[in-house]
C-alpha cells in the first residue's frame, strides 16, 4: 500500500509539474514548490518501502531455503543501486542527445519540450510499468506473508529445541 501510494504520488507530482509548473504560460512558483514537496515525500516513502520489502525477501528466502542471507541481499541492493545510477547517467546522455540539447546556450522550444516530456511524462510511464510489475508479481504481503512469518517462527522454535 505504501509503495503503491509512493508511485502514484510521484506520478501525480510529475504530471502536475509537466502541465502546470514548467509551462511558461501556466507556471506558478507555489505549484512548483508543492510538486517538489510531493515528489520528495513520495521518494522518501518509496525508499523506506523498498528497504522493508528487501527485509521481507530475506524472510522469504529463509522460508524457501532455510538459509538467512541478509548480508547478500542488502549488499546486492547497494550494487544494483550503483549500477542503476550508472545506467541512468548513460540514458540521460542519450536523451540529451535525442532532444538536441546543447550546453551553455539558450535551448530551443523543441528541446525544452523534449526535456519536459522525458523528465515528467516518460518517467511517469516508467513508474506505471514499475507499479504494474509490483502489483502483478510482488506477493509478500497480507495473509500469505503472515503465514510465511508464522512458519519461520515454528521452524526457529524447532531449531532451538534441537539445541
pLDDT along the chain (163 residues), means of 10: 95 91 76 90 94 94 93 93 96 95 93 92 96 96 95 90 80
The helix (H) or strand (E) run that includes residue 83 is helix 70-98
CA separation for the pair 119, 112 (Å, rounded): 10
Asked whether the beta carbons of 43 and 18 are under 8 A apart, the reply is no
User: pTM to 2 decimals?
Assistant: 0.85
Measured N-to-C along each axis, helices 142-162 and 29-65 cross at an angle, to the nearest 10 degrees, of: 40
Amino acid at each position: 500500500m505504501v509503495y503503491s501510494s509512493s508511485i502514484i504520488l510521484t506520478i501525480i507530482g510529475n504530471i502536475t509539474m509537466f502541465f502546470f509548473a514548467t509551462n511558461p504560460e501556466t507556471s506558478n512558483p507555489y505549484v512548483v514548490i508543492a510538486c517538489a514537496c510531493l515528489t520528495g515525500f513520495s521518494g522518501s516513502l518509496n525508499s523506506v518501502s523498498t528497504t522493508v520489502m528487501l527485509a521481507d525477501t530475506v524472510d522469504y528466502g529463509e522460508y524457501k531455503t532455510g538459509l538467512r542471507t541478509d548480508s547478500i541481499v542488502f549488499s546486492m541492493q547497494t550494487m544494483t543501486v550503483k549500477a542503476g545510477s550508472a545506467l541512468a547517467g548513460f540514458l540521460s546522455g542519450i536523451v540529451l542527445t535525442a532532444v538536441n540539447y546543447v550546453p551553455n546556450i539558450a535551448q530551443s522550444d523543441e528541446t525544452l519540450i523534449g526535456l519536459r516530456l522525458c523528465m515528467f511524462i516518460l518517467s511517469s510511464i516508467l513508474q506505471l510499468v514499475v507499479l504494474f510489475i509490483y502489483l502483478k508479481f510482488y506477493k509478500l504481503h497480507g495473509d500469505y506473508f503472515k503465514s510465511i512469518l508464522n512458519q519461520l517462527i515454528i521452524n526457529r522454535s524447532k531449531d532451538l529445541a534441537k539445541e
